Structure 1
Amino acid sequence: MTGPQTLTVRPGGPADAATVLRLLDTATAWLVAQGRTGQWGTEPASTDPRRIAQADRWAASGGLHLALLGDVAVGALVVGAATEHVPAPTEPELYVNLLVTDRAHAGWGIGARLLEHAARLARDRGLGLLRVDCYAGADRALVRFYESCGFTATDPFTVSRPGREPWPGQVLARRLP
């Protein structure tokens, strides 16, 4: 079995949208198996036209980066500008729009390594702030994950979803030296 030390990160592009959808689908299936349906629901991203269009935008944005074990993508990171549902930044920043990893490699630190890659990208751009938002419902396990990676919870928010339960979110920030 390949170990986490062989992880590489490469920029993604338009041809990688299907890879992002695959990673989202496997993560959603894992969440559903855990009874954690509040984050991304129960349906695969690859069957949702809105999520397909989102993956296409991410892949074409120049902000997609893939974590690879050999030739297999085991994680995806998308960085860019903050989304409209979070408070606007008060200074220049890089925003993590997506972080998803293949749960078959849980515990290998893939997510943390992708976040370190995002921090390097921000520093290379002369930025001192990296922000992310995440699902803050249930037991706040995802919030704790980001805190374990050096982020501090800042702004809670709620996304209203017609016909569905509101989505509780948390913005987190990490200051970069």
Structure 2
Amino acid sequence: MMIRRAGRDDVPAVLALLDGATEWLVARGQTEQWGTAPHSTSPRRVAQITGFADEDGLWVAQAEADGRVVGALAVGAAMEYLPPATEPELYVRLLVTERASAGQNVGGVLLDHARELARDAGAGLLRVDCFAGGDGALVRYYERQGFTRDVAFAVPRVNEPDWPGQVLAQRL
């Protein structure tokens, strides 16, 4: 697989990855993380992914055999709902992979790319946040990738329970 910087032309492919991940979660009865609606129909989500591309913080993993986008990574500043780090860092703002490529370490390769970007920028810290609800599988995934739990948080939502999150950090 090849990692490359993504542009606006890649936004539909990244949204398709998010839609596929949501479909997979919904099929398993796990609607707490992202709900049930496709990301591609959300103006807020489309604007967010487009913004990642415009800020040069969006990367995609492409299958070498057919050029298909199999994963996406967005890096930059910490998300606005979290306090900034007290030292130079790079923040993983999005990590999503194609469900058909599960077990091929696409996410791990993208996280390795994030580590390389952080080191190149002189940052000694890589952070990410993720959904901490359900059975905690996503938090455990990042721990297997070398991250440690930092701080738990909750994002308030209107007419729904707060969204439980976990910040994880990795020293580089």
In the superposition, the TM-score normalised over structure 1's length comes to 0.94
* Paired residues, number: 170
SS at match of 2:45: helix
Which residue pairs with 2:70 in the alignment?
Answer: 74
Compute the RMSD of aligned alpha carbons: 0.8
In the superposition, the TM-score normalised over structure 2's length comes to 0.96
Which residue pairs with 2:101 in the alignment?
Answer: 105
Tell me if 1:47 matches 2:49.
Answer: no
Tell me if 1:163 matches 2:159.
Answer: yes
SS at match of 2:160: coil
Tell me if 1:90 matches 2:66.
Answer: no
* Higher mean C-alpha deviation, range 82-91 or range 136-145: 82-91
Which residue pairs with 1:18 in the alignment?
Answer: 12
Percent identity, aligned pairs only, is 58
1:59 and 1:21 mapped to 2: Cα distance?
Answer: 12
Q: Deviations over 1:70-121 (max 9, x none)?
A: 2110000000000121232010100000000001110110001100100000
1:42 and 1:84 mapped to 2: Cα distance?
Answer: 24
2:116 and 2:131 mapped to 1: Cα distance?
Answer: 24
SS at match of 1:166: strand
Q: Deviations over 1:17-69 (max 9, x none)?
A: 11111110011101111111111110100111111111211121101010010
Which residue pairs with 1:60 in the alignment?
Answer: 54
Which residue pairs with 1:4 in the alignment?
Answer: none
SS at match of 1:134: strand
Unaligned 5+ residue runs, structure 2?
Answer: none
Matches within 5 A, 1:116-131: 116-131=112-127
8 Å CA contact 2:88, 2:122 repeated in 1: no
